[in-house]
Structure 1
C-alpha cells in the first residue's frame, strides 16, 4: 500500500499539482512515514528532508480543539449542552457546544474580509457580533466561526491559552515533540505568498489562515503545525485505547450525529468535531467505524478504529498560491488504494 500511495503522490508532484509533503500510515500497530517532493517551490526548488513541520490548517479542529473540549467534559467542567453565551460575550443565545461541534449552529461559515483583519481585538469584535441564521439551525454549515468560539471557550474554562493547554493535555502526553502552535520558522514548510494590507510575503512558520493569523496563530479552528510522524502517534494512541481521552469518550466522539445536505446541497456526515464518510462515499461500508477530516493547506486524516488503521497526509498544496492546489483527485486515488487494502483483508 505504501508503494502505491507514494507513486500517486510523486505523480502529483511531477504534474505540479502540489509541491510535496509527508505521509504517515498506521497499520497493524506499525507506523510508516515518508516524505516526497519539494518543501519550497518559489524562487528555487528545495527538496523535502522529512524534518519539515506543516501547517495542518483545519486538522487543528480535531487534533487539538475537539480533544480539549472532550477533556473538559470528562473532567466535569463542561457539557455538550452547555450554552456558549454562559461563558462568552456573544450576541446570541441558545447555541450549545454540541451545535458547534456538529457545525449545525446556524452560524456563518466564515468572517467576511478576514484578510483585512489587523488585530485580535478587531477579530473578536466581529466574532462576538456574529448572529446565527435561524433558518439554517440544524443544517450542516461547516463553520470556522463555531470552532473559533470553541477555542475561546476552552481558554475561558481551563484558564490557560489554547497552545499551553493543548501541549499539556495532548502533545506532551502523546510524545508529539514537533507539534505546536509556535513552530520553529526554519523547520516550517512555507505555504502561500500572501499579499494584503496586513501582511505581504511568504508565510513560513506563520499560520496560513487569515483569522488565525489575526489571533497570533492560536485559535480553535486552525494554527497547529505538525509532522506526519507526530500525527501517526496521535492515531496509534487513539485506535489502541491508550489515548488522552477515555475509551468511552472516544466512542462518543466518533458516533454519527447528523447526515444531510449542507447549504450548497452537498451531502455531509458529521460526528462530534470529526467528519465521517457519507452513504455515497467510497468508504460507505466503513462509515460508522471511520472518522476523518481535511485541512485547507492540503492535509487529510483518516482513522478506522475497528481496522486499527490510520492515514495522514500533510502537504503545502497552497504554496506558492492557493490557486495552484490540485491535490483533491490524488487524495481520492489514495482513498481507493486504502479501500482496496481493507477489502482484501475482510
Structure 2
C-alpha cells in the first residue's frame, strides 16, 4: 500500500473524528442504527466469503450488538452458528495471550523491552541475532523470516523452538517491518523461560482466569467440541475441528505464541473492556505502552507492542475509525479492533477458511468497522482526542512516512506578521535586533532595514550571531562593525570565549527591547539556539523585553529524534537538556528556555501565520537563504543532525567542498569498505557511495580524503541522529586506531550513549535506549508548542 493511500485514509479519519461529538444514544437507538450490520454479513455469506459469523460490538462500557449468522459448519455436517461458538482465533493469539504475558513480566521487572533476547535465551544468538531485542520481536522489526520452514516433516515443541532460535535474519533489526510468526514463537519461549511456567499454563493462570474468560484456552477439551467452529481439511483430508489450524502451531503440539488459542466473542469482549478500563491483569501504563506506537522512529508503519495501529494489516479498522485505535486479525477469519478514543470495540469471529480455505473476511472486516463508526455517534473526550492527534496528526506525527504528506503552504514569518500589525508591539521603543542574512521579510527586505524605517521604532543596535551579520564568516574571529546601509553599529555575539558570546547588561540597558529574527536549523548544537538563551538571560538581568520573530523549523516540527544532552554538560552547542532534533521553532524553544531555566525574561513571540508542524521548509513557500555558509540546501539541513554529530572528531564532513554534510571522509578511510559496511546496515532513508574529495577548509584541508557520499533517499524515514551514531560506530569498528571517538563528546553530550559506542553496542539498540527519554521530553515540550 502506498504512502499516499495511507494519507487519504488519515485525512478521512481526521474529518470523521471532528464529527464524532453528539448526544449519547439510547440502547434502542443503538440497536436500530446497527441493524445495517445484518445485511452486510448476510451478503458476505451469500457471496460464499464466509459460512457464518458472530459479531459483537461494545460501546461506552456496554455490549450494543451481539448476533450470530449463518452456519458454524458446512462439512462434514451442517450446523447453525450460535453466539457462544468457540473459534480458533489464529493470530489473535499474539495479542490475547502472548503480548499480555510478556507485558506482565515487563511490569514485574523480569524482562526489559530493550534488552537483547539472548540475555534470556542465549541460544537465540545464533546466525547474527545477538542484537535483536524483545521490542523488535513484539513490533515485527526483528528482521526474522515470516515462518518456520515447513518444507520437511518435523514435530515437537522443542524442535520448533530450536528452529526458531536457529533462524537466520533476512534484514538487520529495526530496519524493516516483516510480519513474522517466528517473533511470537520466540516470545512464548521467553515467557516459558523467564516465568518457569509452561506458556499455556501461564496464560490460563494469569490472563484468562482472572478476566473470567471461561471458554478461552489452548488445546480445547473434548467436551467443547460441539461448540467449536471447524476450519478446513488438513493435508491428510481430515477436518480440523478443535485442532489448531496454523501448521506451525499444530506441529509444536497446539501451544504457540503466534497461534493456538480458541475463544468466544463474549470472552474477547471481556479482554477488550479490560484494555479500555484497565484491570488487575495489566496496569493502565502497560496497556498504554502496548497500544501506542512502539516501532522504530523511522518506520513507515505504526505498530504497538503486539498490536497493529496503522499498517498494511489494518484493514479491519475500516474507513472511519481513527488511527489512534488498535487491533489485530487472525488468518482463520477472526478480528478484534478497539478504539480507546470513543470507547468502542468490534469483535468479528468467522471461520472463513471453512471448509476448503477459499473464503476471506478481509473486505467484510473493513465494511463492518466502517458501518459501526457510521451508525454510532462516537463521542471522543478531549483527553482521548489529544491522544489521537498525538499519534496521527499532520501537526504532530509519530515519524511515520504516511502521515507526513507534502503541502503547498504560504507562511508568513514573524517579521511579516509584525509589519501587518503596523509594528504596534515596538512603537515608541528603543530596539536592538539580533539577526543576520536570514532576517528577511516576504518582499526580500532585511529585517534591519524594515525596523530602521518603521514608524515609531528607534533601532539603535544590531547584534550578529555566529558567521556574522552577513552569514559569510566561518571563523571564531567575528568582530564588531557598522551596517553600511543604516550606519547602525553591529555588535558580534560570537567568538572563541564565553564572554565574547554574551553582551554586557550595561549595553542592553540602553534598550527597551531586543528583537530576534534568525533562521534556525532545528538542531540542538546549532549555536543560534544558545545565543537565544544568552539574550534571554541578559534581557532578564537588564530588565528589558525580548521579542522573537518566529521562523519555520526547516526540517519540520513533527519529528523529535536523537539522544538528550545531559545536565551539567552545557556549552555553546548545548544550552540545556534537549534532544539533537527537537522539532521546535526558535520561538517555542525560547519559551521553554525561559521557563525551564527559570530565566523569567519578558518574552514575546510573534508567531508565524500558516505554518504547520508537519511542514518541511519546501512546504512553506518561503525562499531558501543559507542559515550558515555550510548549510546550502534542505538536503544538507536534513543530514546535518546526523553528520554534524561526528564533525568534532578527526574526519571531514565536506566543509570546504560544494556539498558539506553530504560527505564524510579522511585520508585513512577506505571508501569502498565504509560504503559497503554502512549500506549493509540498511539505514532507513540514506545510501552510501564511495567517493574521494579534497576539502579546502576545516579538517584535512588540502588533503585527499576517501570516504562516502551520503545520498538522501527518503527524508521522512530518516532518523538523522541515529545516522550519526551509525557513522561513529562504523568508524570506531573499522578504524579503531585512527578514529578519535572521544572527540564526539562535546557535541554528543551524553555519557551513556558514548559508553555504549565504546563498548561496541549496536546503534539500533543504542537508539532504542534513548526513546523513553524522548517521550518524557515530548511531554515537557508539549507545554511550549505554539503551532498545534
The TM-score, its normalising length taken from structure 2, stands at 0.41
- C-alpha distance 13-129 of structure 1, shift in aligned 2 (>3 A): same
Deviations along 1:76-119, one digit per CA (max 9) or x if unpaired, are: 11110122112222213111100001100100011232684333
Could you tell me whether the CA contact under 8 Å between 1:259 and 1:268 is conserved in 2? no
Alpha-carbon distance between aligned partners in 1 of 2:285 and 2:247, rounded to the nearest angstrom:
36
Q: Which moved more, 1:111-120 or 1:2-11?
A: 111-120
String of CA shifts for 1:162-218, please: whole Å, max 9, x gaps: 11111111111111110010213332111110115xxx4111111000111111111
2:55 aligned with 1:18 = no
Q: Is 1:337 aligned with 2:340?
A: no
1:192 aligns with 2:232: yes
Length, aligned pairs only: 337
Cα gap change, 1:38 to 1:116, in 2 (>3 Å) = farther
Question: Does structure 1 retain, via aligned residues, the 8 Å contact 2:215–2:263?
Answer: yes
Instruction: Tell me how far apart the structure 2 counterparts of residues 166 and 131 of structure 1 sit (CA, whole Å).
Output: 29
1:51 paired residue number: 84
1:83 is aligned to 116
Residue 287 (structure 2) pairs with residue 250 (structure 1): yes
Q: Any conservation in 2 of the 1:140–1:261 contact (CA below 8 Å)?
A: no
Work out whether residues 136 and 173 of structure 2, in 8 Å CA contact, stay in contact via their aligned partners in 1: no
The TM-score normalised by the length of structure 1 is 0.90
- The root-mean-square deviation of aligned C-alpha atoms, in Å, is 2.3
Q: Is the 8 A contact 1:155 1:161 kept in 2?
A: yes
1:70 to 75, 87, 103: 103
CA displacement, residues 1-32 of structure 1 (integer Å, 9 cap, x when unaligned): 53222321122112211111212211121124
CA separation of 1:44 and 1:254: change in aligned 2, threshold 3 A: same
Structure 1 segments, 4+ long, off by >6 Å, are 259-262
Checking the alignment, whether the CA contact within 8 Å between 1:277 and 1:284 is kept in structure 2 is no
Q: Report the counterpart of residue 60 of structure 1 in structure 2.
A: 93
Does residue 302 of structure 2 align to residue 269 of structure 1? Answer: yes
Over 3 Å counting, the alpha-carbon distance change for 1:35 and 1:145 in structure 2 is same
Q: Which residue pairs with 1:105 in the alignment?
A: 142
Determine if contact 2:321/2:339 at 8 Å carries over to the other structure: no
Three-state SS of the structure 1 residue aligned to 2:182 is helix
User: Mapping of 1:190-229 within 5 angstroms?
Assistant: 190-196=230-236, 200-229=237-266
User: For structure 1, which segment, 2-11 or 229-238, has the greater mean C-alpha deviation from structure 2 after superposition?
Assistant: 2-11
Residue 287 (structure 1) aligns with: 323
The 3 A distance-change label for structure 1 pair 208 and 72 is same
SS of residue paired to 2:67: strand
- Segments of structure 2 that go 5 or more residues without pairing to the other structure are 1-32, 381-788
* Alpha-carbon distance in structure 2 between the residues aligned to 1:259 and 1:82: 15
1:337 positional shift = 0.7
With over 3 angstroms needed to count, the CA separation of the structure-2 counterparts of 1:325 and 1:285, relative to structure 1, is closer
Moved more, 311-320 or 111-120: 111-120
Is the Cα contact below 8 Å between 2:59 and 2:345 reproduced in 1?
yes
SS in 1 for 2:35: helix
| Corresponding position: 1:328 with 2:362 | yes
1:233 aligns with 2:267: no
User: d(CA) in 1 for partners of 2:291 and 2:99?
Assistant: 11
Kindly indicate whether the alpha-carbon contact (under 8 Å) linking 1:301 and 1:312 is maintained by their aligned counterparts in 2. yes
From the superposition, tell whether residues 117 and 18 of structure 1 become closer, same or farther in structure 2 (CA, over 3 Å). Answer: farther
CA distance in 2 between partners of 1:328 and 1:260 (Å)? 29
Distance, in Å, in 2 between the alignment partners of 1:148 and 1:248 is: 25
**C-alpha distance 132-296 of structure 1, shift in aligned 2 (>3 A):** same
SS of alignment partner, residue 193 of structure 1: coil
Structure 1 unaligned runs (5+)? none
Answer yes or no: is the 8 Å Cα contact 1:25–1:312 preserved in 2: yes
Measure the CA separation in 2 of the matches of 1:296 and 1:251: 26
Q: 163, 169, 177: which is aligned to 1:140?
A: 177
Distance 2:152 2:80 in 1: 30
1:235-277 Cα offsets, whole Å, 9 max, x none, are 1121122351111111111111238999xxxx64211110013
Distance in 2 between the 1:22 and 1:37 partners? 9
CA distance in 2, matches of 1:259, 1:284: 26
SS at match of 1:22: strand
> What secondary structure, in the 3-state scheme, does the structure 1 residue paired with 2:100 have?
helix
Residue aligned with 2:309, SS: coil
Contact 2:320–2:374 (CA<8 Å) still a contact in 1?
A: no
Q: From 293, 305, 317, give the equivalent of 2:340.
A: 305
Residue 615 (structure 2) aligns with = none
Q: Contact 2:174–2:296 at 8 Å: present in 1 too?
A: no
Q: CA deviation at 1:131?
A: 1.3
Contact 2:161–2:189 (8 Å) recurs in 1: no
